[in-house]
Copies of this chain bind each other. A is one copy, B any other.
Amino acid sequence: MSSQLDLDNIRNVLIRLEETIIFALIERAQFRVNEIVYRPGAFGPALGGVSLAEYCLHGVETVHARMRRFTSPDEEPFSGDLPEPVLPMLAYRDNPLRPNRINVNARLRLAYEREVVPLICEAGDDEQYGSSVVCDVACLQPMSHRVHYGKFVAESKYRARPAEFDALIAAGNREGLRAAITDERVETGVLRRVGIKAGAYSRELNATTTRVCFEPDKVVEIYRRWIIPMNKDVQVEYLLQRGAGEPEAAR
């Protein structure tokens, strides 16, 4: 089996992403909501009519696209119009996924701007617009990675119980698939671990600096309300698009 479907490897990737996500959220929380950065056109025609947040995200993704970031099966872009890589393509001989076109980043960005930012940041405007949107990119990219890694999780689960999944896929049974991929014990474990880590980082910052206002429970809520559900949506969609039957490589 592809090493990318090995459950230990998947677990390691997801756990490392937790540190990255928690750390990025704490960084963003230094600044106010700064709602103006999410308003399309608020900074005039130089930005082509988009919001400052979208402009910054698109700029960074343009650079990363040239570095072939989005040719990797575990990365999906937020932007639609990205340039070709300047690097030669990697073969990804190891890619265990079926071809798919699943990208929930539009939903993720909306939830992030409208709900996550107001949850973690103080209301109001501190004029730190550039810093805020640079932090936004640093939050959104690993959150997207975490959510879309559901494709690997789903393929791995499929291969462990192909007959069960084949029946659900053939019937287009979305609710059945959602039940089949759900493991509440694992979800509870993720939430507990994320809470412990966020608590440790917050305490560390509180111990060494004089002004930090970040409640670790907020990270747990972000996982519970958005990251875990969107990851499961990706899993269900992936399985439906995947179709029934043996993995390609094994045929």
A binding-site residues for B, Cβ under 8 Å: 8, 11-12, 15-16, 19-20, 23, 27, 43-44, 46-47, 52, 55-56, 59-60, 62-64, 66-69, 85-87, 90, 127, 129-131, 133-134, 193, 197, 200-201, 204-205, 208-211
Known: A19-B204, A60-B60, A204-B197. A12 touches B210 (CB 8 A): yes
Report whether A59 and B69 are in contact in the complex, using a CB–CB cutoff of 8 Å: no
In the bound complex, CA of A68 to CA of B12 (Å): 37
| Nearest B residue to A67, CB-CB | B130
Given known pairs A63-B60, A90-B127, the reply for A69 and B19 (CB within 8 Å) is no
* Distance between A149 CB and nearest chain B CB, rounded to angstroms: 14
- CB contacts (< 8 Å) of A52 on chain B: these are 67, 87
Contact status A86-B46, CB under 8 Å: yes
